[in-house]
Structure 1
């Protein structure tokens, strides 16, 4: 066997050995979920949190961004997208072929040997486009993660304030229930003594039952908010966080056009849609590039059964006669149109959401102002009634009735305050940044 023939076998063997030398890491097994979730101590150690003081809504938002399990899973998508960028930037490997033909008849025939090496220049031409598309995809994933982080931080912040308001409502409903029960017991005793007719009991029983239902509903809402906050932070459901009381409400209003323009500028999900449109544009360029006959070049060496040795180049390409990549081009154009329509529709949805939240916020603020005007004289009336009852000028039942009327208005005011904060949170989400940063 000649030196040239030996090389035709040595080169493929060398390439196979080089490929086998690439190390592969073993896959990690799936982790088992612990019966107990993350404790407060583990959370404090992971993020250097001081738990001796109540946590503010902004601090809880920052904690949630780092500890939320869904966000941690979403961040793994970025690693996949970065790996796709790495893969798109790699140059294609050459192709090697080799073959033997053993003669079965004929005098003096030798074994035919054929070998070749080729390179796909079409892949080289598509590489910059694929790389640009992969980088745009990374940007899309990063914007998706940023938007999810913003939503999670806002949710944790709102849940913290919701817990504060619901704790206040629970305290108010407990006092209201105690007064209703006290009034019912008083009437029961009066009926037993014969001082009041039995018909007086029905109204008191209904009032006590309604007060108990109201108190239990407030308790359920409070516990649900606490569980939702623990879930958002990745904490064990049975852990209890100490949160700061809600901050005073602000009457600041922001112009509708400023809110809309800020949303279009700052929202990460819109930035992600723009990056996705850029990635689709790169895919369209790749489709149009496929309409051209991009070649694959190679060099072939062979020896036939008559011991004649040959060496020469080869050229292969797709002949664009019928297909010409028109299907891929049309699909890319349709995808572009779809993404543009979705982007416009999303902008219109943002505008509508902002208008809706702004209108609801304005009306709810007016409702709360009306309730506050009603509470002010009720406070004075209740204080006067209390003093009169202590002097014995009026029965204690009159003071209880006045206290219940005041508490009912205070519960309504606290619920409206919570609604205002929820609407402000909805506006912040729609805009993509805190309202206090807007002018």
Structure 2
């Protein structure tokens, strides 16, 4: 046998062996079915959750220990939200996808192998073959820009996740404050309803005895109806808060969390000094602004890749062939596009317009951040003033309610005057709690915009409070 066919056969088998070897290193498909069951965190699994404070995105959470055995305070609720919020889990999945895309962008293109063979039917001829190896050169040229764009996209996604964590922390704290407010005010609203009901029932009895006019009874009924509606609305608001908080924390809807701590009556507007300092460094510290900067850099690299793709695409290859007359040839091939009509001008225009839009988006977000801070500071100042005024009026209302109770007990005061005095004191207490909660929510909102530069007014971690008070 002629040595050449044997050599060609060996080369063919070597190529097949290399292909089989590469297939062996590939990832294989494995089915992963969906779960038909509710996987929300139960009370038993909540007690087993362990959260590392070092993984928390804000300093006041990183300085706090997570221990749900004695109830959840405001920091522990925020920590659980960061660790267990379903939307954050999806966002972390998006980050994994971005990292995988960056890995894909950094891979070199695979060379292309072409194998063909002809079997002639005439005698005296030999089998013809053609082996070719080629590589897309332009894919290598644009690899650097594509890799830089993918890396910047990973940074953008990571910072976007951090910004989403900040928002979840703020939302969890605000829901915590709202839940604690409702736990405090719902009994007060119930007392006010009961007072109105007692007054109406007594007046209805007097009207049946002919000792009261129909107009007076109608006014009492209206007041009772209003108080009953306020209590029902408060119950529904509490149920909505319970639902929203459980959904945010990823716990079962039927669970009732034990919340501890909260508003202590010392709510106040934040100091100007830390707010001004945080505003000065806002573009360098707020994750969404940094994410937009990273996204803009990714777009810069996409625009650069589109510019480079204007040049002719180039594919270079080498081949080895034999025809049916047993003549061997060795050569090369070059595929080159002719930039006559397209020249990638459409993609260049798209990437340029996208870059301009992203620049405008960044500036709009930055301007909105400054406007949000100004609004929250002004609103917090108004709330603080209203809270101070309402608190100053509470002692007088409480004293009047005490005197009315004593006089009513001695039968020196009518029922209507007694219930009015008690309801006025209850209303003051509800107003104070509501204003304090609103001021606390404003502070949490400001912290979400500025980050850990503005410490919480209701932290249970005294060490962190003292450290930020210096």
Query: Greater shift after overlay, 35-44 or 231-240?
Result: 35-44
Deviation at 1:41, TM superposition (A): 1.6
Correspondence for 1:194 among 210, 231, 235: 210
What is the match of residue 206 of structure 1? 222
Judged with a 3 Å threshold, the aligned counterparts in structure 2 of structure 1 residues 133 and 176 are, in CA distance, closer, same or farther, namely same
TM-score by length of 2: 0.86
- Retained in 2: the 8 A contact 1:260–1:350? no
What is the match of residue 161 of structure 2? 145
Correspondence for 1:250 among 268, 273, 277: 268
- Retained in 2: the 8 A contact 1:120–1:296? yes
Query: Greater shift after overlay, 122-131 or 30-39?
Result: 30-39
Alignment of 1:56-71 (within 5 A): 56-71=73-88
Question: 2: distance between equivalents of 1:362 and 1:157?
Answer: 20
Question: 2: distance between equivalents of 1:263 and 1:376?
Answer: 43
Deviation at 1:70, TM superposition (A): 1.6
Q: How many residues align?
A: 438
Judged with a 3 Å threshold, the aligned counterparts in structure 2 of structure 1 residues 156 and 170 are, in CA distance, closer, same or farther, namely same
What do you get for the CA RMSD once the two structures are aligned?
A: 2.4
What is the match of residue 339 of structure 1? 358
Question: 5+ unaligned residues in a row in structure 2: which ranges?
Answer: 52-65, 456-467
Question: 2: distance between equivalents of 1:323 and 1:38?
Answer: 56
- Retained in 2: the 8 A contact 1:57–1:158? no
SS at match of 2:132: strand
SS at match of 1:91: coil
- Retained in 2: the 8 A contact 1:71–1:145? yes
- Retained in 1: the 8 A contact 2:376–2:442? yes
Question: 5+ unaligned residues in a row in structure 1: which ranges?
Answer: none
Query: Greater shift after overlay, 12-21 or 337-346?
Result: 12-21
What is the match of residue 93 of structure 1? 110
Deviation at 1:57, TM superposition (A): 0.9
What is the match of residue 310 of structure 2? 291
Question: 2: distance between equivalents of 1:328 and 1:37?
Answer: 45
SS at match of 2:214: coil
What is the match of residue 358 of structure 1? 377
- Retained in 1: the 8 A contact 2:74–2:261? no
Judged with a 3 Å threshold, the aligned counterparts in structure 2 of structure 1 residues 30 and 350 are, in CA distance, closer, same or farther, namely farther
Question: 1: distance between equivalents of 2:272 and 2:174?
Answer: 20
SS at match of 2:338: coil
SS at match of 2:117: strand
Query: Greater shift after overlay, 388-397 or 323-332?
Result: 388-397
CA-to-partner distance for each residue in 1:39-87, whole Å, 9 max, x for gaps? 1220221227544423111111011111112211221122222222222
- Retained in 2: the 8 A contact 1:85–1:131? yes
- Retained in 1: the 8 A contact 2:270–2:443? no
What is the match of residue 408 of structure 2? 389
What is the match of residue 227 of structure 1? 243
CA-to-partner distance for each residue in 1:79-118, whole Å, 9 max, x for gaps? 222222222222222211122234466x744332211112
Deviation at 1:257, TM superposition (A): 4.6
Correspondence for 1:163 among 179, 188, 213: 179
What is the match of residue 380 of structure 1? 399
